[in-house]
């Protein structure tokens, strides 16, 4: 039987960790966030984990991907219930470029390019654990970043096509939650991105 996963609030050092990872992503949408607007870090771990003895966020042996993916989906859909303005989700592949992709046919409709970096864009209503598994399967980058935005997917696509120079800053201002893989890619850290 798989352990039940729970969300645990972390201390401020998790914000520093997240800021470092966003910096490592080296531009794209990850470079558009105001680090002082990051707060309320939460991580998903098994319910038997002791919050006081959790290892560093870059160490493994803490959680399992399947449970963490399911908990992240539940958490994001809960956030959407609390804030109906949340509309879209982007799965960022921060170090991937179009040349890294090898599709048998045309690229998937969900693929969007932001400053030459690849992301996959969906309506937040479509989010499932399977969608996260698909993202994990196609991502080239070890660092996985997920953004939850108040912009509609159609508005993001239109902006990407008609005003790509404005996309990063406008989309960055509309992102309300940022998630990234932690614990050696076993779980997720999620933070709010908005002024308190």
pLDDT of residue 1: 60
Contact at 8 Å (CB) between 195 and 37? Answer: yes
Backbone angles phi, psi at 86, to 5 degrees: -70, 120
pLDDT (tens digit per residue) in 41-65: 999 999 988 888 999 999 999 898 9
From first CA to last CA, the distance across the chain in angstroms is 40
Contact at 8 Å (CB) between 184 and 148? Answer: no
pLDDT (tens digit per residue) in 112-145: 988 888 999 999 999 999 999 999 988 989 999 9
- The tokens describing 47, both together, are 């319910």
- The tokens describing 196, both together, are 């308190």
Residue the block writes with tokens 């960022």? 92
Is the pLDDT score of 102 beyond 70? no
pLDDT of residue 138: 87
The structure's pTM equals 0.94
Domain count, the chain: 1
Give the domain range for residue 78.
5-193
Is the pLDDT score of 24 beyond 90? yes
pLDDT of residue 70: 94
């Amino acid at each position: 039987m798989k352990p039940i996963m729970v969300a645990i609030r972390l201390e401020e050092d998790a914000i520093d960790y997240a800021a470092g990872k966003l910096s490592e992503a080296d531009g794209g949408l990850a470079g558009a966030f105001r680090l002082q607007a990051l707060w309320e870090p939460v991580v998903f771990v098994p319910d038997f984990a002791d919050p006081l003895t959790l290892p560093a966020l870059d160490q493994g042996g803490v959680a399992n991907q399947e449970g963490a993916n399911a908990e992240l989906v539940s958490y994001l859909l809960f956030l959407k219930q609390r804030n109906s303005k949340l509309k879209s989700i982007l799965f960022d592949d921060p170090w991937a470029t179009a040349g890294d992709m090898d599709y048998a046919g045309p690229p998937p409709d969900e693929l969007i390019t932001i400053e030459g970096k690849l992301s996959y864009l969906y309506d937040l209503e479509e989010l499932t654990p399977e969608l996260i598994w698909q993202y994990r399967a196609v991502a080239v980058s070890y660092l996985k970043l997920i953004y939850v935005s108040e912009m509609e997917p159609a508005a993001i696509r239109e902006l990407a096509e008609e005003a790509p120079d404005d996309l990063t800053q406008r989309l960055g201002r509309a992102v309300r939650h940022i998630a990234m893989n932690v614990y050696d890619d076993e779980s997720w850290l999620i933070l709010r991105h908005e002024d308190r």
